[in-house]
Structure 1
Amino acid sequence: MLTIEHSKSKYEQAKKHLAGGVASSLRASMKPMPLYAESAQGARLRDVDGNEYIDYLLGFGPLILGHANEELTNSILAAMRKGYTYGLQHDGEIELADLLVDILPCADRVALSGSGTEAVMLALRLARAHTGKHKIVRFTGHYHGWSDSIFTSFPGAGLSESVTSEEASSVVPPGTMGQSVNSLNDIILLPWNDPDVLESTLRSHASEIAAVISEPVMCNSGCIVPKPGYLELMRQLTEELGIVFILDEVITGFRLAQGGAHERFGIKPDLVTIGKAMGGGIAISAVAGKAELMKYIDTSAVSHLGTLNGNGVATAAALATIRELAKNNGSSYRRMEELLVSLSTGIRVLLHKHNIPGVVNQIGPVFHMMFINEHEVNDFDTFNKRDAGKYAKFAELMLSEGVLLRPNGLWYVSTAHEQADIDETLLAIDRVLGQLDEAVY
């Protein structure tokens, strides 16, 4: 039985003055309750009760080098000793911009910011400034931050495969109470991986649509990859119709490849948003893309604001993280993918062994595990058939086995994980699956 008395005490203490008891609403979903960390190193995290976990949560994605990586820590400390932030320019901004343009296939220029939400806000403004149009096409199951103008219900119910473009454009549920009732008027919401609806919508509304924004892989909702030719069609149509094509790579950037998913898939969007793994755990994000769009920042036609944008600590963290990932011709990517293939394959074997229906969708060093009575999951409506409660119970039971998971089924590995961690995790999964059907959830 997992002992978490100190975490319970701290959670009650936090709820007195910290709204919701946690600093981000997402963390409140952990069962049996939000845990409190004491320290972490490499692939392991320790909580305040002394429990140690193999960590596949990885800070919800940013910790691609694992916890407290020595090279990253040394770079951050060196930057801090020179001053945290200046409100002036410094070499780190130039170095990072040069490096990003060199690495990202779509990048002529970059703009630095602090979070994925901010990067998406800037990308949408650049698209509207460039086209003079206002509508934005986005897709169910995708997440682009929590600003009022783009945050729709998530994960929520999907749109049916038979939906028409006219129906889709009118179905835009807000993501939260408190959003402006007018905030989503410019959003056209479509099902993803449906080329017919995509084409009919873009051709019907081309005169209104400023941008199409899409995740290259639907990581949060099943790790669903694009159907063959789908992103290529998106690129072709947007180019033909004068619509800006934005790939949101806040999750996939620096995780699926050094140049992100658009490098891996050979797709060149007009703009890309990046964050999370780029800073290795320090808050930083960016928009990168074509000079003809980025020029609106040069002239101040599009304001790019943010007190801490490009601060010395953040740029030092990004430079150190990217350079660590690039060592030995990017061998860390091959190694992380090999580990995830080993883990995801092992989970499929164990699901079969215990006669539990489930799917594991894996690409690169990330996968989504779900309990579902389907042989494959390649669209959002199918993903919504999963037994989310059963998985949440599975994640809770895994805590007692010393494995930290995100309750929604998304797993990450880092460069710090070893095959021994994978082997230990598979043994834990075997034990948990053996008792899962008897568990109450």
Structure 2
Amino acid sequence: MLKIDQSLSKYEQAKKHLAGGVASSLRASQKPTPLYAESAKGARIRDVDGNEYIDYLLAYGPLILGHAHDGLTDAILSAMRKGYTYGLQHDGEIELANVLIDILPCADKVALSGSGTEAVMLALRLARAHTGKRKVVRFHGHYHGWSDSIFTSFPGAGLAQSDNDGQTAAVPPGTQGQSENSLADIILLPWNDFAALENVLRVRAHEIAAVISEPVMCNSGCIQPKSGYLEHLRTLTKELGIVFILDEVITGFRLSLGGAHGRFGIKPDLVTIGKAMGGGIAISAVGGSAELMKHIDTAAVSHLGTLNGNSVATSAALATIRELKCDNGVVYDRMENLFIQLSEGIRELMHKHSIAGVVNQVGPVFHMMFIDVKEVTDFDTFNRRDSGKYVKFAELMLEEGVLLRPNGLWYISAVHEQADIEATLLAVDRALCKLIS
């Protein structure tokens, strides 16, 4: 039986003065209770009750080097001894910008920011300034941060079918408290639907500033683009004078050193990156063509942020990228091979226990779900999964010493080892047995 007394006690303490009891609303969904960490190292994390877990949550994605990586820690400490942030410029900004331009195929220039949400806000602002248009196309099931102007709820993709005039249904807000007008400029479409995309873009190109898309629908099933879909999106937007934004806050530095757009050979106008870039320290960026980034150069677009490009964050990013680049990025092959082994093993175990499910894996990330279909390739099908069953499975996995995100998304780090994969598969076997008992 999992010991959670201390976590339960601390959660009750937190709720007295910390709104929601957690610092980010998503964390409140963990069962049986939000856990409190005591320490972590490598691929393992320990909670205040003394439980140790193999960690596939990885702080919701940033910890691509694992916990408390020695090289990253040394770089951060060295930077801190010289000052945390200056409000002035420093060499770290120049060095990181140069490194990012070298790595990101689409980037002539970059702008540094603090979070994925901020990077998306800047990218949308650049697109509107560049085109003089207001509307933004985004897709069901994709996540682009929690700012009012882009944060939508997650209904089924069927609600976004457009009519012959390219008009779409009203866009539902993602939370109470959003202005009724905050999403007035958003056009919400089903992803991977060639006809819907073509229809809306051609009919409404005169008012569409940008199309923003994740290259892989990571949060909602790890669904990959259909063959030719991203290429078609790139061709259409270029033809119609619409800015194409790839949101790589999750996939950047995870699917490859050059992100998903480097892996897939797609060249968007703008790309947003974050999470894994800092290895666990908050930093993000927008990269893009000189033509678009010039709007910051001329001050036509304001790019503000007290901690943008601070020395601790830039040092963390540079150290993380150095580690990922070692031996020509061999770590990416290693992470992917381990996750192929793990995802195939989980599929075999679900078959062994006669449990219907799907594991969608791409590179060092996969989504596991309980659903009675052979494959999940669209958002409507993903919405048919048994999410409650997976939450219970994640809770059982805690008892087996494995920490998972309750929505089914798994990450791996550069320091996970073969022994971790083997131990995890044994844990999955036991948890699935308990799930059906």
TM-score range, shorter chain: over 0.9
Given residue 422 of structure 1, which amino acid in structure 2 is its aligned partner?
Answer: I
| 1:367-378 correspondence to structure 2 within 5 Å | 367-378=366-377
Given residue 100 of structure 2, which amino acid in structure 1 is its aligned partner?
Answer: L
Secondary structure of 1:111's counterpart equals: strand
What does residue 37 of structure 2 align with?
37
Given residue 164 of structure 1, which amino acid in structure 2 is its aligned partner?
Answer: D
What does residue 120 of structure 1 align with?
120
What does residue 319 of structure 1 align with?
318
| 1:352-367 correspondence to structure 2 within 5 Å | 352-367=351-366
What does residue 393 of structure 2 align with?
394
| 1:61-72 correspondence to structure 2 within 5 Å | 61-72=61-72
Shift of 1:157: 3.0
Secondary structure of 1:360's counterpart equals: strand
What does residue 307 of structure 2 align with?
308
What does residue 207 of structure 1 align with?
206
Distance 2:296 2:305 in 1: 13
Given residue 56 of structure 1, which amino acid in structure 2 is its aligned partner?
Answer: Y
What does residue 257 of structure 1 align with?
256
Given residue 122 of structure 1, which amino acid in structure 2 is its aligned partner?
Answer: L
Distance 2:170 2:350 in 1: 37
1:348-388 deviations in Å (ceiling 9; x for gaps)? 00000000000000000000000001110000000000000
What does residue 347 of structure 2 align with?
348
Distance 1:231 1:169 in 2: 21
What does residue 146 of structure 2 align with?
146
Secondary structure of 1:175's counterpart equals: coil
Note if contact 2:273-2:286 (Cα within 8 Å) is conserved in structure 1.
yes
Given residue 48 of structure 2, which amino acid in structure 1 is its aligned partner?
Answer: V
Distance 1:175 1:162 in 2: 19
Note if contact 1:169-1:187 (Cα within 8 Å) is conserved in structure 2.
no
Secondary structure of 1:335's counterpart equals: helix
Q: Which runs of 5+ in 1 are unaligned?
A: none
TM-score normalized with structure 1 length: 0.98
Given residue 114 of structure 2, which amino acid in structure 1 is its aligned partner?
Answer: G
1:240-286 deviations in Å (ceiling 9; x for gaps)? 00000000000000000000000000000000000000000000000
Count of matched residue pairs: 437
Q: Which runs of 5+ in 2 are unaligned?
A: none
What does residue 98 of structure 1 align with?
98
Given residue 387 of structure 1, which amino acid in structure 2 is its aligned partner?
Answer: D
Shift of 1:160: 5.3
Shift of 1:80: 0.2
4+ aligned runs moved over 3 Å, structure 1: 160-168
Shift of 1:435: 1.4
Distance 2:393 2:112 in 1: 39
1:152-188 deviations in Å (ceiling 9; x for gaps)? 003x433258653657623311000000100000000
Note if contact 1:168-1:190 (Cα within 8 Å) is conserved in structure 2.
no
Compute the RMSD of aligned alpha carbons.
Answer: 1.0
Note if contact 2:160-2:168 (Cα within 8 Å) is conserved in structure 1.
no
Given residue 223 of structure 1, which amino acid in structure 2 is its aligned partner?
Answer: C
Distance 1:409 1:240 in 2: 38
What does residue 218 of structure 1 align with?
217
Identity of aligned residues (%): 77
Note if contact 2:173-2:183 (Cα within 8 Å) is conserved in structure 1.
yes
TM-score normalized with structure 2 length: 0.99
Change (3 A) 1:18 1:162: closer
Given residue 77 of structure 2, which amino acid in structure 1 is its aligned partner?
Answer: L
Residue 430 of structure 2 is aligned to residue 431 of structure 1? yes
Distance 1:204 1:256 in 2: 34
| 1:72-87 correspondence to structure 2 within 5 Å | 72-87=72-87
Residue 414 of structure 2 is aligned to residue 415 of structure 1? yes
Note if contact 1:371-1:388 (Cα within 8 Å) is conserved in structure 2.
yes
